[in-house]
Amino acid sequence: PRRAGPFSRSEQRELDIFYPHLKRAARMMQLMGEFEVVLGQARAALDCLPYGVWLVDRQRRCQWFNAVAEEAMQTHVYGLGLSGDRLQLRDAMEESRWRSVCDRVSRGDISADVMPLGHSGATLVAMQYRRPSAHALMGPEQEALLVFLLDPERPVKPNAQRLHTLYGLTQAEIRLLGELLRGYELSEISACLNLSIHTVRAQLKSVMRKVGVTRQAQLIRKLLMVCAALPSDGDAH
């Protein structure tokens, strides 16, 4: 209190030691506020995606999901829902298959796996994902799964301008990627685009070389996670 008079010299020395820590704490609080703003912007961008996205742990417990995923679980159109906090399918046989898919990817038997959902034409894609733990400086990364819900009725349209800017892809290659993201096989794409299967394979090989991947699953994962359908800078914040 003011009535106690000025600080003594020893107290001043202690304050000199404490002040830099107080200043650093204030700066950390400012950075945390900026981080929350950026995190909110990232979540808003993911909510704009036309496909569902879940982040689940190895026990399929949901850590986060976007707006399309939430809608799918609320409407049960695809038979998806939450049991407790686990992402599950209402059909027992599909739930068993889905559990096997997640187990294979979690164990590292395969980096990504795809499971069709009944006769709807929609598919679930499960992929390995490693995220830093809350104690990343003191412990290992946490293993998790990224799950995507793709539906041909809600096609993922590649951002042609962004793909061309990032990887130098041609219009023909971008058109091929659009069909891949709709879940079609190369033979189906060949018939749809009226191209020979050799031409389609050559285009796919060129795309993978430009994007810097060696497997088709890696290509799909990169497109889904990076630039598949995010709006260009002029379309949205």
| Whole-prediction pTM | 0.57
Instruction: Identify the pLDDT of residue 137.
Output: 39
CATH code given to domain 50-150? 3.30.450
Residue pair 66/47 in contact (Cβ under 8 Å)? The answer is yes
Residue pair 149/158 in contact (Cβ under 8 Å)? The answer is no
Which whole-number Å values give the CA distances from 235 to 94, 153, 161, in the listed order? Answer: 38, 23, 12
160-227 folds as Arc Repressor Mutant, subunit A (1.10.10)
Cα distance between residue 51 and residue 8, in whole Å: 65
Positive or negative: CA dihedral 219, 220, 226, 230: positive
Strand, coil or helix: what is 113?
strand
Angle in degrees, 0-180, between the axes of helices 171-181 and 197-211, rounded to the nearest 10:
100
pLDDT tens string for the chain (237 positions)? 889 899 999 999 999 999 999 999 999 999 999 988 888 887 887 787 778 899 998 888 898 899 889 988 988 888 898 888 888 898 899 999 999 999 988 888 888 888 888 777 788 989 888 765 544 433 444 678 889 998 877 666 677 888 888 889 999 998 898 888 777 888 989 988 889 999 999 999 999 999 888 888 778 777 766 544 444 444 443
- Which residues, 6+ apart, have CB-to-CB distance to 189 below 8 Å? 176, 179, 180, 195, 200
Report domain extents, the chain: 10-45, 50-150, 160-227
